[in-house]
Amino acid sequence: MAVQENEGYRGPQVCKIVGITYRQLDYWARTDLLRPSVSEARGSGTQRRYSYRDLLELKVIKRLLDAGVSLQSARRAIECLRGGLGEDVASANLVLDEGSSVLAHSDGELIDLLKGGQGVFNIVRLNGVVEELDAAITEFGPAPTVPDTHVEAAAGSGS
Amino acid sequence: MAVQENEGYRGPQVCKIVGITYRQLDYWARTDLLRPSVSEARGSGTQRRYSYRDLLELKVIKRLLDAGVSLQSARRAIECLRGGLGEDVASANLVLDEGSSVLAHSDGELIDLLKGGQGVFNIVRLNGVVEELDAAITEFGPAPTVPDTHVEAAAGSGS
DNA sequence: CTGGGAAGTCACACGGTCGGAATTACGCCC
DNA sequence: GGGCGTAATTCCGACCGTGTGACTTCCCAG
């Protein structure tokens, strides 16, 4: 399946869905935190195109930042999330210990993790993130303020 | 009991015990994160004097920073720790949720907390912190590189 | 008085983000 | 094809938070 030009979510759309500024999205793309996986921009006036998976990761980053975690630590968290690609991510807890990150799938596993490590942890509960993202896509993704059949088709193919 | 001039820990000594730079300690004192509770400096050449409690709080701050938490969030955490003054802090877990901080005293309490809130948490396990601090004081506090009976007395009165 | 140590001062660096403006591509219309 | 308008990216300087390093000033003990 060849990548269609309209596939994925545009930069400004992503900012609305995830709840971040364009500046942030741009900086993160430029500094390799999260680049648009569907399509990079080819210059001014062209568009970055992000996948649904990109949006999920961005949402997690946003949460971490809101909780006062530095962007550097968020970078590590995202690496872990990318490593857990095949797992049931939506029901897990992402546990960041100093220098490492793990996905915990049960309360017991979580408690065990908290007894080890260096003694300081960042925890991201993932099971509400997908729902929240889907709700935001419903609001900002398929139905922009200015009705646009063209954009609607793009949003549909992104999920 | 009047405060003795030699009471408490001197600035550079605190840096060794806690494992931070003098610049950090200075910046934190100047920006009101943690000021020396025993005695402020009265100008160049005079000394800041910190209490044992100050050192404990500094150690927690250090841990948070090492885990990638911003200083702003660490400020909130310390406020919570100050609020839990009468509690058995040494065996608790400090749980930072977005906008609030709580001390959890059992695994069950901890799990409950993780099911609420905004979904992102910073957790500091406190039960090793006191031991670690006491070990560092044994190393850097009462027995500096240059033996000094004067300083030894100060360290003794700090605990 | 002198020397050592501690705090104070100041310019700077870096990460992260912001605002404003410039540049560019693209789609549409004539 | 050319022109126009819109949207998106790029560029640039500035700001803020969090320190760092070099240097100065000051205090205190001997």
Tokens of A103: 């996905």
> Closest partner residue to A122 among B67, B74, B76, by Cβ?
B67
Q: With respect to residue A58, please indicate whether it lies within any of the assigned structural domains.
A: yes
User: Distance between alpha carbon A17 and the CA centroid of its chain, in Å?
Assistant: 10
What distance in Å separates the CA atoms of residue B65 and residue B75, rounded to the nearest whole number? 11
Higher-confidence position of B158 and B40: B40
Chain pair A-B, CB pairs under 8 angstroms: 100
C-alpha angle A59/A63/A67, rounded to 5°?
A: 170
Q: How far apart are the first and last CA of chain B?
A: 15
Give the range among A96-100, A139-143, B138-142, B149-153 with minimum mean pLDDT: B149-153
**pLDDT of A105:** 87
Q: With respect to residue B87, please indicate whether it lies within any of the assigned structural domains.
A: yes
To the nearest whole Å, the CA of B46 is away from the closest chain A CA by: 35
Q: With respect to residue B80, please indicate whether it lies within any of the assigned structural domains.
A: yes
Alpha-carbon dihedral of residues B94, B97, B101, B107, nearest 10 degrees? -40
Which chain A residues contact residue B115 at CB under 8 A?
A: 125
Cα atoms in the Cβ-side hemisphere of radius 13 Å centred on B59: 27
Q: With respect to residue B2, please indicate whether it lies within any of the assigned structural domains.
A: no
CA nearest to B39, candidates B69, B72, B11: B11
Q: With respect to residue B3, please indicate whether it lies within any of the assigned structural domains.
A: no
Q: With respect to residue A3, please indicate whether it lies within any of the assigned structural domains.
A: no
DSSP codes joined into one string, B117-153: TTSEEEEEE-TTHHHHHHHHHHHHSSS-SS--HHHHH
Q: Which residues contact A126 (CB under 8 A, 6 or more apart)?
A: A60, A89, A90, A91, A92, A93, A94
Q: Which residues pair with B96 in a beta bridge?
A: B101, B122
Helix/strand/coil for B97: strand
Counting as low any pLDDT under 50, the low residues of chain A are 1-3, 143-159
Distance in Å, residue B123 CA to nucleotide D19 C1': 24
Whether the per-residue pLDDT at B105 is higher than 90: the answer is no
Domain count, chain B: 1
Q: Which residues pair with A96 in a beta bridge?
A: A101, A122
Q: With respect to residue B140, please indicate whether it lies within any of the assigned structural domains.
A: yes
Using CA coordinates, name the residue in chain B closest to A69: B69
For residue range B35-94, what is the model confidence (pLDDT) as tens digits?
999 999 999 999 999 999 999 999 999 999 998 899 999 998 888 888 765 566 777 888
Give the pairing of strands B120-125 and A120-125: antiparallel
Interface ipTM: 0.82
Q: Which domain holds residue B19?
A: 9-158
CATH of the domain at A122: 1.10.1660.10
Which chain A residues contact residue B67 at CB under 8 A?
A: 73, 96-98, 118, 120-122
Residues A124 and A101 sit within 8 Å (Cβ to Cβ): no
Distances (CA, A) of A153 to A50, A129, B108, B113: 15, 24, 47, 41
Q: Which of A78-82, A96-100, B134-138, B142-146 has the highest mean pLDDT?
A: B134-138
Q: With respect to residue B150, please indicate whether it lies within any of the assigned structural domains.
A: yes
SS3 per-residue string spanning A101-126: EEEECCHHHHHHHHHCCCCEEEEEEC
